[in-house]
Chain A
């Protein structure tokens, strides 16, 4: 088997799996910190109970996020050594800063928080979980500095012999316009993931007639507000990100829309079955002008098509295939936006119920609120699949193709890759099983067991 295909499969598998746990870490760390702050401010025991309840679920999830993250740091050098040589000068820096700034405070203060309950003054103990949340947030920021560079390179120059890219402006990296659409979007996605889990578990306990009624009503209230704010922000940031992509990666937009030819005004696809080889529709339902409206806030404006961009890129970068997998880009975009739209409505429904203080649920609403916890996972994964697959054939857009970034087969052979991929699949499957088992155990047990 081809080492490029194996390396890509392994990176996709390990990063998607890692990102099952990260949004929850991002969202739940902040949520737990909010609850503990409420405890410190009001002194009410129910906030302490909720802090410990959600904190336990946070910790179970956090552990898997940490270990799967180590794999990512190592994997750049292990499987993408040519990429590391080519852009390490630039991409290595935010990753190193991520370890020095974010990981250190996260991992030191999580120890302080877990072990310091009866040892530290209440305010200081609460501060430690806020610092953990800050660490997670900074961690997301710095990895996205690196990823945003890969999506739209800034602040660099090519070495004279063309063998590598070199950083010339660190602040250009920090103020990369792509970063400031991507970072809020990912952070808000974390808030949404946690919010929907809180809604699901809290409403489940209320439906099951928990003794801790008051606590879970509070939990649902906090969760619904959290989820609603997160969903609004994620949609707004996502919209801004898509508009930014029109200038930085128009091919990704065209692919996500299966827009074969440039259009002005451009139509939005509701449903398309395409012929990828022939680069044309087989069957398509499109809303005229809608894509221009999303892109430019007006029903006019050209959105470039796949075939036009391919011609442009062949001139700019030389002969080659510059079209990513359309079916992947198109459907990952639909799943993400579809899940996001559903989350918008469900978070409004949850918010409505808590504003009305109506904590009884019909079987339909109850089931809906429970299973909606899966929607953020669908959106998070599809979003990243779109982000990475839509950038192909580039690993660093316009600078390095993915096929030129992989470790040489003489160093990492296909048999070594098959072995490592198999190892990760088996181990991660086991980890997921253990994780779900414990999350279910502690989520359903309620508040008493967490103490």
Chain B
């Protein structure tokens, strides 16, 4: 296996962790206004992700950093080409990030409401935009012979991408609702479970429609073949199985299944793209690949050593932090946020 392929896999791993972990942060933030009007209950909801959200976001930040180091030409084309979309995402992430810390620091309803809506918007916008981005990765963007992606924001907001955006919004909301069902008690837990059951149907339906559109809009099925293999099939089965787990009140299993669905669909997308990283809709010969965008083998070697040592370390201490804060949050808990 060459270093470029190794890093293609490592980047997929970073993105999987981002979607599975930050995914439920987004979901919790999206559901916040609907979970309760009571301040104490809202605080309980926010505190379920309180210790984790910042560490979860770092999987995205490290994916971006790794992309810059390992595939700098992909990083350059992607970030400049998706400029306005990224500005929107940054605004959302800025408001969300600050909202967690600022929200409870002042005792005025207008203040708290403003920051609660910042958490909502700051979660819903990225949840949608990631779907839009992924759809465009698969469908292709106008990459020219100089590796520049022209086209702008309107080109990115095509119907296929918007469909994916709404789908991802729903999937992350589902994932977040199930997380809440695992981390809360009493009325909040019941509400979370009921939301999860309600969101499942539209989420799964849109997923199926999106997969159908993927046949015509992308070359995913051509590349993966009629029988795409265990991974894509399992990701669908996992999502479908969620409703059965929820009906049995097996929230833990349901959460495992949404996590599998997110992880396996990410793997599927990377599998379908390989060895490309950004498909050119103008001319396939101008697509960015792991080979024409990568840094030198020396840099890849350094990065590989760093990643292979430190990613396991990160998993250990992040796992530890999830363990020490594993208790459910109630309205009587000590609420730091």
Scan residues 80-97 of chain A and give those whose CB is less than 8 A from a CB of chain B.
81-82, 84-85, 88-93, 95-97
Task: For residue A189, give the distance in angstroms from its CB to the closest CB of chain B.
Answer: 24
Task: For residue B284, give the distance in angstroms from its CB to the closest CB of chain A.
Answer: 20
Residues of A within 8 A of B87 (CB): 78, 419-420, 423
Residues of A within 8 A of B302 (CB): 93, 167, 170
Residues of A within 8 A of B307 (CB): 100
Measured CA separation A423–B296 after assembly (Å): 37
Is the C-beta of A64 less than 8 angstroms from some C-beta in chain B? yes
Chain B CB count within 10 A is highest, among A62, A67, A118, A423, for: A67
Known A78-B86, A116-B51, A119-B324; further 8 A-B contacts with Cβ < 8 A: A84-B72, A85-B147, A92-B65, A92-B69, A107-B55, A108-B318, A114-B50, A434-B98
Contact (Cβ within 8 A) A95 B62: no
Is the C-beta of A431 less than 8 angstroms from some C-beta in chain B? yes
Stretch at the interface among A26-34, A292-300, A409-417: A409-417
* Given A84-B75, A85-B76, A92-B70, CB of A411 within 8 Å of CB of B83: yes
Contact (Cβ within 8 A) A59 B101: yes
Interface size, chain A (Cβ < 8 Å): 69
Contact (Cβ within 8 A) A100 B100: no
Measured CA separation A410–B144 after assembly (Å): 11
Is the C-beta of B80 less than 8 angstroms from some C-beta in chain A? yes
Residues of B within 8 A of A16 (CB): none
Q: Which of A96, A166, A423 contacts B66 (CB 8 A)?
A: A96
Contact (Cβ within 8 A) A85 B79: no
Residue of B nearest to A142 (CB): B65
Is the C-beta of B149 less than 8 angstroms from some C-beta in chain A? yes
Residues of A within 8 A of B57 (CB): 107
Task: For residue B179, give the distance in angstroms from its CB to the closest CB of chain A.
Answer: 16
Is the C-beta of B105 less than 8 angstroms from some C-beta in chain A? yes
Residues of A within 8 A of B145 (CB): none
Task: For residue B87, give the distance in angstroms from its CB to the closest CB of chain A.
Answer: 5
Measured CA separation A63–B303 after assembly (Å): 28
Interface string of A93-135 (1 = CB under 8 A from B): 1011111110111011111101111111000000000000000
Those 10 A-B pairs whose CB atoms lie nearest each other, nearest first: A88-B72, A77-B79, A92-B69, A111-B51, A81-B76, A63-B101, A92-B68, A107-B54, A96-B69, A81-B80
Interface string of B50-92 (1 = CB under 8 A from A): 1111110110011011101110110111111101101100110
Is the C-beta of B150 less than 8 angstroms from some C-beta in chain A? yes
Task: For residue B331, give the distance in angstroms from its CB to the closest CB of chain A.
Answer: 16
Measured CA separation A404–B273 after assembly (Å): 31
Q: Which of B62, B91, B296 contacts A104 (CB 8 A)?
A: B62
* Given A92-B72, A96-B65, A103-B62, CB of A441 within 8 Å of CB of B106: yes
Contact residues of B: prevailing secondary structure? helix
Measured CA separation A82–B64 after assembly (Å): 17
Residue of A nearest to B100 (CB): A63
Is the C-beta of A1 less than 8 angstroms from some C-beta in chain B? no
Stretch at the interface among B37-45, B228-236, B245-253, B309-317: B309-317
Task: For residue B78, give the distance in angstroms from its CB to the closest CB of chain A.
Answer: 7
Contact (Cβ within 8 A) A70 B90: yes
Interface string of B111-148 (1 = CB under 8 A from A): 00000000000000000000000000000000000011
Task: For residue A170, give the distance in angstroms from its CB to the closest CB of chain B.
Answer: 5
Residues of A within 8 A of B332 (CB): none
Scan residues 237-258 of chain B and give those whose CB is less than 8 A from a CB of chain A.
none
Is the C-beta of B325 less than 8 angstroms from some C-beta in chain A? yes
Is the C-beta of A407 less than 8 angstroms from some C-beta in chain B? yes
Task: For residue A129, give the distance in angstroms from its CB to the closest CB of chain B.
Answer: 14
Measured CA separation A116–B334 after assembly (Å): 11
* Given A96-B70, A108-B317, CB of A79 within 8 Å of CB of B65: no
Residues of B within 8 A of A427 (CB): 91, 94-95
Measured CA separation A427–B93 after assembly (Å): 12
* Given A73-B64, A78-B79, A411-B80, CB of A64 within 8 Å of CB of B98: yes
Contact (Cβ within 8 A) A67 B306: no
Is the C-beta of B275 less than 8 angstroms from some C-beta in chain A? no
Measured CA separation A114–B36 after assembly (Å): 24
Residues of B within 8 A of A91 (CB): 68
Is the C-beta of A438 less than 8 angstroms from some C-beta in chain B? yes
Is the C-beta of B190 less than 8 angstroms from some C-beta in chain A? no
27 A/B residue pairs, CB under 8 Å, sorted by A = A59-B101, A60-B101, A70-B61, A70-B97, A77-B78, A78-B87, A84-B68, A90-B299, A93-B299, A96-B66, A98-B65, A100-B65, A103-B62, A108-B317, A108-B321, A112-B51, A114-B50, A115-B47, A115-B336, A118-B334, A119-B324, A166-B295, A407-B83, A411-B150, A412-B80, A416-B83, A441-B105
Q: Which of A63, A73, A109, A119 contacts B61 (CB 8 A)?
A: A73
Residues of B within 8 A of A68 (CB): 94
* Given A71-B94, A108-B55, CB of A442 within 8 Å of CB of B105: yes
Measured CA separation A110–B296 after assembly (Å): 35
Task: For residue B25, give the distance in angstroms from its CB to the closest CB of chain A.
Answer: 12
Contact (Cβ within 8 A) A71 B90: yes
Contact (Cβ within 8 A) A93 B94: no
Q: Which of B52, B80, B314 contacts A111 (CB 8 A)?
A: B52
Measured CA separation A88–B77 after assembly (Å): 12
Task: For residue B6, give the distance in angstroms from its CB to the closest CB of chain A.
Answer: 15
Residue of A nearest to B294 (CB): A89
Contact (Cβ within 8 A) B93 A70: yes
Residue of A nearest to B115 (CB): A434
Contact (Cβ within 8 A) A438 B106: yes
Measured CA separation A95–B303 after assembly (Å): 11
Contact (Cβ within 8 A) B79 A81: yes
Is the C-beta of A283 less than 8 angstroms from some C-beta in chain B? no
Contact (Cβ within 8 A) A116 B98: no
Chain B CB count within 10 A is highest, among A88, A170, A438, A442, for: A88
